Structure 1
């Protein structure tokens, strides 16, 4: 079993959870979308994240999705989101998925944390509950969780909790936070892997600030793979040219309430999943939105052909 570490790098795609039109889980598409992500160059997957509609799943469904994804991944890295309001639920789900062969778990802070002291104490309790052998990803996503983790508080957590080996960075604006983490490491603090979210909208800049890769979703995951590869090799201009081609569609996905529908539409169009269905509550895309996405795809593919 491969576990994530503080040296983990690359693209760990946030996987969608596919549903049939009646809202039941589409088991066939779990296999096809898992294959799709790895065929496009992903180094790993992260399942049961916010854009994986995890809060809409029952515990039994979450375990079933994890079991099937791990089986299809055939030993490749799969991180599982286990965020929940209480530690008992986090501990129970973590034990189950780690026993199945997960590479680690991701935990976002609950929205009732308001002070640095509360946030630091919370993550100390999380790692104590899970034990020292479970690698943990700290999800720093204040736009969704409403929890603002300051740079000093994040540093305290890293120092106090060695099993937190990765930060899923999606603060916004947050480039300075990446620089501060790397500067602290240069001064002797232990290293953590930094993988970035927010649909990749700042990925070139994040990589240049010292991020190790991406942990987010997009209808064209190969974009993130290429941007990470090109920036790591020093071909910054090529990375920016390629990113600019994808940027209109990346931007479209940033719309609250529309982004997941747009992503699922693109994945369905590309054959990764059978339908773009979201589990309720979740409205299907309106016709004009679908037409806008189709226009963006057409323009994207034309531009990619021009770039070679």
Structure 2
């Protein structure tokens, strides 16, 4: 099995109206924007998509919209669905629902039940999803900051070796550059049968350094996928100096967006014209604070100038 997980896959924010109902029109607009911005796909119902605050019926509605936009956009655009759940059976069932609704892949993140979680149980998690959804590509998300599950390099490589439909690792375990290098070294000794790529997450905070170690793109929620695409294009072309120059230039924006919670990201989506409201579901604070909103406005002007229309994909001159 080859992997199509190369390039940029934004982790999508889930739009809610102020009354906390789904804003499906805003979600459709957001997915279409990522198509126009040149992303290779999108990941929905992830942790920062507020998946833990949604019902299964709402998940289904979001998948249907994303698959519909992808199917009518005129080019390959992959829909990956976050299906993580505290129970293995529930994770497998949510994955099957995503597959039945036309998703191209699922992203699975382990949840902490035992301390520490036995390696065999983590292997079983991915094996059960694979058995329930034959042929469906799986993204293994390694993000101990949110899960409290620490997966060693030997365990990651074991899962990839034993579960052939795991075709991507979203590696977010610090320090990421060192862990990426260690996984690559293991694979050089014992290559998996399938192609398995590694994508950068964590809001691209360490993106320049991750690209140096051989990541093949980004799967993260940064609201400017055009910037990530430019960095990745430079890195894949062997021009790490340009990749790092772009990284250094836009890092303050990445850092600002990566503050805890999702309110800042939703405010950026709103300023990009994708959402009517940046509402975040309870019990989180419902919106970005006035202080942060003002600081964000100043940062955007410093980064792009006062005349840049952020409601459209960034023009080429931004990157010169």
* Length-normalised TM-score, structure 2: 0.89
Q: Using the alignment, how far apart are the partners of 2:122 and 2:271 within structure 1?
A: 43
Q: Using the alignment, how far apart are the partners of 1:157 and 1:123 within structure 2?
A: 10
Q: Using the alignment, how far apart are the partners of 2:130 and 2:222 within structure 1?
A: 34
SS at match of 1:14: coil
Q: Structure 2 vs 1, CA of residues 100 and 209 (structure 1 numbering), >3 Å: closer, same or farther?
A: same
What count of residue pairs does the alignment treat as equivalent?
303
Partner of 1:100: 101
Q: Using the alignment, how far apart are the partners of 2:291 and 2:180 within structure 1?
A: 38
SS at match of 1:80: strand
Contact map agreement 1:5 1:135 (CA 8 A) in 2: no
SS at match of 2:305: helix
Pick the aligned partner of 1:58 from 55, 59, 62: 55
Q: Using the alignment, how far apart are the partners of 2:145 and 2:65 within structure 1?
A: 31
Q: Deviations along 1:250-287, whole A, 9 cap, x unmatched?
A: 11122223xx1111111111112221111112211111
Pick the aligned partner of 1:300 from 281, 291, 303: 303
Q: Using the alignment, how far apart are the partners of 1:189 and 1:235 within structure 2?
A: 27
Partner of 2:219: 215
Q: How does 1:150-165 map to 2 (within 5 A)?
A: 150-165=152-167
Contact map agreement 1:116 1:149 (CA 8 A) in 2: no
After superposing the two structures, state which structure 1 stretch, 296-305 or 263-272, moved more. 296-305
Q: Using the alignment, how far apart are the partners of 1:229 and 1:167 within structure 2?
A: 20
Partner of 1:172: 174
Partner of 1:252: 256
Q: Using the alignment, how far apart are the partners of 1:124 and 1:225 within structure 2?
A: 29
Aligned-residue offset at 1:306: 7.6
Partner of 1:122: 124
Pick the aligned partner of 1:28 from 25, 29, 34: 25
Contact map agreement 1:109 1:119 (CA 8 A) in 2: no
After superposing the two structures, state which structure 1 stretch, 111-120 or 298-307, moved more. 298-307
SS at match of 1:13: coil
Partner of 1:85: 86
Q: Using the alignment, how far apart are the partners of 1:92 and 1:127 within structure 2?
A: 8
SS at match of 1:79: strand
In structure 1, list runs of 5 or more residues that go unmatched. Answer: none
Partner of 1:146: 148
Q: Deviations along 1:63-106, whole A, 9 cap, x unmatched?
A: 01100111012262000000001122222222221122111111
* Structure 1 ranges of 4+ moved more than 6 A: 303-306
Partner of 2:183: 181
Q: Using the alignment, how far apart are the partners of 1:104 and 1:18 within structure 2?
A: 22
Partner of 2:314: none
After superposing the two structures, state which structure 1 stretch, 71-80 or 262-271, moved more. 71-80
Partner of 2:233: 229
Q: Using the alignment, how far apart are the partners of 2:135 and 2:32 within structure 1?
A: 29
Say yes or no: does 1:199 pair with 2:196: no
Q: Using the alignment, how far apart are the partners of 2:83 and 2:2 within structure 1?
A: 18
Q: Using the alignment, how far apart are the partners of 1:115 and 1:192 within structure 2?
A: 24
Contact map agreement 2:91 2:129 (CA 8 A) in 1: no
Aligned-residue offset at 1:129: 4.3
* Length-normalised TM-score, structure 1: 0.92
Partner of 1:276: 278
Q: Deviations along 1:109-148, whole A, 9 cap, x unmatched?
A: 0112414534544335434542442221111000110100
Q: Structure 2 vs 1, CA of residues 203 and 119 (structure 1 numbering), >3 Å: closer, same or farther?
A: farther
In structure 2, list runs of 5 or more residues that go unmatched. Answer: 309-316
